[in-house]
């Protein structure tokens, strides 16, 4: 089966109404988010000379800003779109951890799932931005597995909150939180209560995700997860990769994000849908995957079918990559993107 595709997203008046109604229902959606908590730091400046010490630009710093990253960026997107979110993850007992909790509280995001661990730092990603261009990024983190005591508390938190939620999101940044036994326990809990499980995956952890409802890898992650390190004479087509991941992970759907080529949705029914990119200008892809899974979760919780949820997620990603830094999407921005989508011929 070949991919259904078009050069642009084209929605009829009836489809637009359906999408707009779905966005309105976001405020009734409730999402549990489990994953790696990260603080995103942005250092903004200008460059007008090269260092005399080495062939590198000298950035004159103008300002700094901080945003919730990782699983907390997913939570922030859900909150900014009107949904109720219950994030769960681990922070260090440090300044960065306190900053994240303060931001969560100021944004009205629940902090009952925040666990602290004095033995590890809060993950910090620092990006240097000069003239709207990322110059370099450096990370400070501890990627070792979190202690068993913390994983038990995470499982218990999900067990206590799962009935309040419509969807469970697993945001795996590979920082030590997502582990096989914990993930199996979370999937069992969600299945018992008939809640879908969406995963933003890490390539090396693909074997962990068996039995989830949906995964959202990018192209590189999808090929890596499918091939599992095997070297072939020829690179397989994306159709083979998507169908192969469906079979391998026994999930209901695989949504592969393809950058400038949009997205490809593979469903267990055999249906394959290609969604063209919605981005007009790309300034920064930081956090775009977080926005995709946040909107998918909200749309599915609001009763959307998988293809509709994927189109909305694609429209949201097109908005966020047009912004600098880790950014969120508002309901009004998403409504405008739906209204701007061309009509079908």
| 332/286 Cα distance (integer angstroms) | 21
Residue 119: DSSP 8-state = T
Which position among 172, 290, 308, 332 bears the catalytic label? 290
**What is the rounded (10 degree) CA torsion for 221, 222, 227, 228?**
40
| Residue showing tokens 């966020």 | 320
The angle subtended at Cα 183 by Cα 98 and Cα 27, nearest 5°, is 60
Q: Is 261 among the residues known to form the active site?
A: no
Residues 6+ apart with CB under 8 A from 204: 174, 224
Q: Helices (DSSP H) in the chain: which residue ranges?
A: 13-25, 71-80, 95-106, 148-161, 180-192, 219-227, 238-249, 288-301, 306-320, 331-340
| 297/281 Cα distance (integer angstroms) | 25
Q: Are 64 and 83 in contact (CB under 8 A)?
A: no
- Residues annotated as catalytic are 290
């Amino acid at each position: 089966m070949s991919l259904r595709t078009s050069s642009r997203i084209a929605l009829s008046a009836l489809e637009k109404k359906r999408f707009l109604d779905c966005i309105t229902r976001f405020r009734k959606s409730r999402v549990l988010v489990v994953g790696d908590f990260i603080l995103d730091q942005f250092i903004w400046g200008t460059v007008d000379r090269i260092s005399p010490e080495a062939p590198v630009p000298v950035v004159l710093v103008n300002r700094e800003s901080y945003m919730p990253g990782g699983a907390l960026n997913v939570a922030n997107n859900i909150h900014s779109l009107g949904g109720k979110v219950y994030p769960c993850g681990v922070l260090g007992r440090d300044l960065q951890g306190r900053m994240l909790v303060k931001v969560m509280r100021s944004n009205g995001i629940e902090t009952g799932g925040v666990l602290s661990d004095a033995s590890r730092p809060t993950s910090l990603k620092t990006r240097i931005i000069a003239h709207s261009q990322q110059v370099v990024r450096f990370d400070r983190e501890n990627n070792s597995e979190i202690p068993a005591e913390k994983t038990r508390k995470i499982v218990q938190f999900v067990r206590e909150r799962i009935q309040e939620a419509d969807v469970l999101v697993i945001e795996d940044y590979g920082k030590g939180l997502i582990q096989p036994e914990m993930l199996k326990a979370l999937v069992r809990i969600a299945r018992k209560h008939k809640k879908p499980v969406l995963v933003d995956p890490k390539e090396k952890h693909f074997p962990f995700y068996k039995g989830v409802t949906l995964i959202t890898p990018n192209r590189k992650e999808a090929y890596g997860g499918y091939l599992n390190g095997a070297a072939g004479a020829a690179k397989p087509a994306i159709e083979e990769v998507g169908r192969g991941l469906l079979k391998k992970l026994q999930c209901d759907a695989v949504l592969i994000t393809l950058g400038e080529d949009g997205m490809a949705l593979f469903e267990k029914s055999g249906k394959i849908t290609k969604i063209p990119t919605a981005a007009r200008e790309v300034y920064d892809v930081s956090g775009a995957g977080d926005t995709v899974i946040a909107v998918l979760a909200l749309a599915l919780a609001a009763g959307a079918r998988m293809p509709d949820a994927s189109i909305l997620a694609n429209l949201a990603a097109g908005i966020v990559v047009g912004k600098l830094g880790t950014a969120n999407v508002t309901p009004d921005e998403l409504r405008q993107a739906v209204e701007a989508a061309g009509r079908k011929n």
